[in-house]
Structure 1
Amino acid sequence: MKTQIAILGSTGSIGKSLLKIISRNKNSFKISLLTANKNYKLLLNQAIKFNVRNVIITDSDSYNISKNIFKQYRIRTYNNFKYFKKIFSKKNDYVMSSIVGLDGLIPTFEIIKFTNRIAIANKESIICAWNILAKELKKYKTQFIPVDSEHFSVWYALKGTCLNNVDKLYLTASGGPLLKTSFKELDKIKIKKIINHPNWKMGKKISVDSSTMINKIFEVIEAKKIFNLSYKDLEIIIHPKSYIHAFIKFKDGMIKIIAHETTMEIPIYNTLKYHNINKLKSKKIDLKKLNNLNFSKISSKKFPLIKIINELPNSETLFETVLVTINDELVKLLLNKKITYLDLIKKLLKLITSKEFVEYKFIEPKKINDILDLNKKIKSVIQNHDIIYKKF
């Protein structure tokens, strides 16, 4: 029997990588659903190639343009995730949730009940709503697998291991595209350089997040929640080659180091390997990289946003939504050349410690709408905030 799969965000980089793996194992899988926001042309090609009968296109203009085109191919087209109940006659075996940003929160939450296993690449869902998602996973007995290379590596290494034996968890960071750029140069740095990541093929937004190190702070938050650790149990280590993704120091003195090539195909493949799937073709161990790992401590002078970790509450709160949303808005301003790179860093540090946002450290999200309503509110506040136009 074929494994039934649904992919949320099939036109993004994670979705495309997953489909590449499935194309090498076509006889093992049946895709029940593909989704996209605007890219209906690629979505149509994917649906035809993999004989998919159901698609969701969330952008209203793209949906209106394309629904008749899809109809010609007898593909049922929907424009909202509320149709999951209509699309799925039974539980999927596997779902990949890879919609970017908080747009992925509702579909991730809603599809848990319709799958036996969910691989989540949407970090905002985990950062902002893990307490809500975890209850849903438990309620519907749905297995969760993290997809980020660092969190997947830790999950892979901890299988069959008692979490109480973990002494320290180290997540590695490449240092991003500006690792060798002096702090003095950052005020006049060009967008082109900021988004040119040396190791990974990434979009503009995630490349900016990598350069400021906020992406790694988000990963620390994810790790804390997923593995039920405290922030004192977690540390970021600079590793420019991105060959080692995490290492774990155990209380019994043992250390596990997890390495793989800089391709997301490896963690994605491993979330699928419980099913009937061909062996992954991978490169031989790179001894040159292993002989020159070049680890170093992270510097708060070089990466000031690292200080944010000290501001994070240990309990589940809405402050994570504050952090994610403010960063999103400031990155948009940077990419639109409304603020400088150093403006982004200074304004982010200033805003998250301001009165109107600190109060959210003491409020727990109870439902998904708590997060989405706050996201809208913060966007409005940021767009009209004096600090955006103030020079430091």
Structure 2
Amino acid sequence: MKNISILGATGSVGKQTLQVIRNEKERFKLVAFSANKNYQGIIDIVKEFKPKYVAVVDKYICEKVRDYCKCENINIEILEGIQGLTTISILSEVDIVVTSIVGMIGLVPTLNAIRAGKDIALANKETLVTGGEIVMREAEKYNVRILPVDSEHSAVFQSLQGNDINSVDKIILTASGGPFRGKNIEDLVNITPEEAIKHPNWSMGKKISIDSSTLVNKGLEVIEARWLFGIDYNNIEVIIHPESVIHSMVGYKDGSIIAQLSSADMILPIQYALNYPNRQNSLISKLNFYEVGKLTFEKPNITNFRGLKLAYDAGIEGGIMPTIFNAANEEAVQLFLEKKIKYLDIIKIIEDSMNNFENRGNIDLEMILNYEKMVRRFIQDKYNF
């Protein structure tokens, strides 16, 4: 029996992690979870899974949860704010922490979990984008496993099993192309948030759906892959694969390419990460090649979707630049969701931020957190928000 703590249990990945736990009760127990503002989602989890702890980031919602649990005589420790995230990440009874919280907010609790010796099922790509060098160094120091939950990185991880990393020629990350694949710049001028979050293949949260539409998400995954697998950027390739059947591939020096294929469902990589190194009975619909019919591949259009190129630029430059890239994107996406900027302004803001700040090396956690604030302040001041 593995005891699980989920950071971000009411989001897309968090909900699907709960589904795995629900279907494998003999293997997993939810001990703790966090959420932000989804009051009903929190209450539903408390009633069904009866965890010992819940961390609620939003103060008002936290008080509502406390009132409910008191009225219903539910014995659960309710923690408030960001500190609560750290508390449920380092609990002595927890075996594995699922980091499915969105954004840079996941970096500090993930590091604390690693230093407490917890294995990490990583769905928060920003953690490695901004602090990859620090995170992987600490994971090695504390003998902690970083188990990828993103479908692409899980696919690479699975395709590497039984092989020497030194025999790898390249990693090939697949991308669906998002809802605007094939469109020209002119077609993207008046895109609305409602249009941008309609991903053709995957059910995801608003932020990651918009990142997918701009190909920024794939850029973040490139940086994440560099740290997860220790592969140089020159050996990480992105290919558009609209069917989303091949989730990623590993090319070896002898010319062999090993790929992981399955239905487009996040349940599988979550289940694999929680059960690793074992495999359990499928919780998703199995792939039917007669129904798939064909698999197609395209080169990404980095002229119209420059977010991917900017991510490569940030990653190759290294230092604090990936933090600048990520923070600018997070701020710009939020402004777009609030309809304060146009869709194409997201990439303009990222590039503007990368050009505004001089890169610095020898980064540490304090520098990362400071630059994250500086970038957000720069964007808010320049664009008068």
TM-score with structure 2 setting the length: 0.92
Aligned-partner SS, 1:96: strand
- Asked if the contact 2:21–2:29 (Cα under 8 Å) also holds between the matched residues in 1, the reply is no
User: Deviation per CA, 1:73-107, whole angstroms, max 9, x where unpaired?
Assistant: 01111114646669966352222111111111111
Shift of 1:276: 8.8
Partners of 1:204 and 1:274 lie apart in 2 by 29
Q: Which runs of 5+ in 2 are unaligned?
A: none
Partners of 2:67 and 2:224 lie apart in 1 by 41
Shift of 1:378: 1.2
Shift of 1:333: 2.1
Match of 2:373 among 372, 376, 383: 376
1:202 aligns with 2:200: no
Partners of 1:58 and 1:9 lie apart in 2 by 10
- Asked if the contact 1:70–1:76 (Cα under 8 Å) also holds between the matched residues in 2, the reply is no
Aligned-partner SS, 2:138: helix
1:6 aligns with 2:5: yes
1:36 aligns with 2:35: yes
Aligned-partner SS, 1:77: strand
Partners of 2:105 and 2:377 lie apart in 1 by 17
Greater mean deviation of Cα atoms: 15-24 or 306-315 = 306-315
Partners of 1:283 and 1:82 lie apart in 2 by 39
Which residue is 1:20 aligned to? 19
User: Deviation per CA, 1:55-88, whole angstroms, max 9, x where unpaired?
Assistant: 1112122222322322430111111464666996
Greater mean deviation of Cα atoms: 86-95 or 287-296 = 86-95
Partners of 1:237 and 1:195 lie apart in 2 by 21
Counting matched residue pairs gives 381
Aligned-partner SS, 2:323: helix
Pair 151,276 (structure 1): closer, same or farther in 2 beyond 3 Å:
closer
Which residue is 1:103 aligned to? 105
AA partner of residue 78 (structure 2): T
1:164 aligns with 2:162: no
Partners of 1:235 and 1:13 lie apart in 2 by 27
Greater mean deviation of Cα atoms: 154-163 or 262-271 = 154-163
Partners of 2:236 and 2:90 lie apart in 1 by 40
Which residue is 1:227 aligned to? 229
Pair 338,22 (structure 1): closer, same or farther in 2 beyond 3 Å:
same
Pair 203,274 (structure 1): closer, same or farther in 2 beyond 3 Å:
closer
Which residue is 1:325 aligned to? 327
Aligned-partner SS, 1:197: coil
User: Deviation per CA, 1:313-339, whole angstroms, max 9, x where unpaired?
Assistant: 547511111001111122122222222
Partners of 2:38 and 2:196 lie apart in 1 by 26
Task: Map 1:242-261; keep pairs closer than 5 Å.
Answer: 242-261=244-263
Greater mean deviation of Cα atoms: 303-312 or 187-196 = 303-312
Pair 170,91 (structure 1): closer, same or farther in 2 beyond 3 Å:
same
Shift of 1:123: 0.8
Task: Map 1:266-345; keep pairs closer than 5 Å.
Answer: 266-274=268-276, 279-288=281-290, 291-314=293-316, 316-345=318-347
Aligned-partner SS, 1:341: coil
Greater mean deviation of Cα atoms: 181-190 or 138-147 = 181-190
Shift of 1:115: 4.5
**Alignment RMSD:** 2.3
User: Deviation per CA, 1:243-269, whole angstroms, max 9, x where unpaired?
Assistant: 111112110121111111111000001
Pair 70,275 (structure 1): closer, same or farther in 2 beyond 3 Å:
farther
1:351 aligns with 2:353: yes
Q: Percent identity?
A: 36
Pair 275,259 (structure 1): closer, same or farther in 2 beyond 3 Å:
closer
Task: Map 1:47-58; keep pairs closer than 5 Å.
Answer: 47-58=46-57
Which residue is 1:76 aligned to? 77
Aligned-partner SS, 2:33: strand
Pair 247,85 (structure 1): closer, same or farther in 2 beyond 3 Å:
closer
Greater mean deviation of Cα atoms: 16-25 or 305-314 = 305-314
Pair 81,276 (structure 1): closer, same or farther in 2 beyond 3 Å:
farther
AA partner of residue 21 (structure 1): V
Pair 86,13 (structure 1): closer, same or farther in 2 beyond 3 Å:
closer
Partners of 1:273 and 1:86 lie apart in 2 by 21
Aligned-partner SS, 2:294: coil
Pair 69,87 (structure 1): closer, same or farther in 2 beyond 3 Å:
farther
Partners of 1:11 and 1:363 lie apart in 2 by 36
TM-score with structure 1 setting the length: 0.90
Partners of 1:21 and 1:313 lie apart in 2 by 33
- Asked if the contact 1:170–1:248 (Cα under 8 Å) also holds between the matched residues in 2, the reply is yes
Partners of 1:295 and 1:249 lie apart in 2 by 16
Aligned-partner SS, 1:188: coil
AA partner of residue 377 (structure 1): M
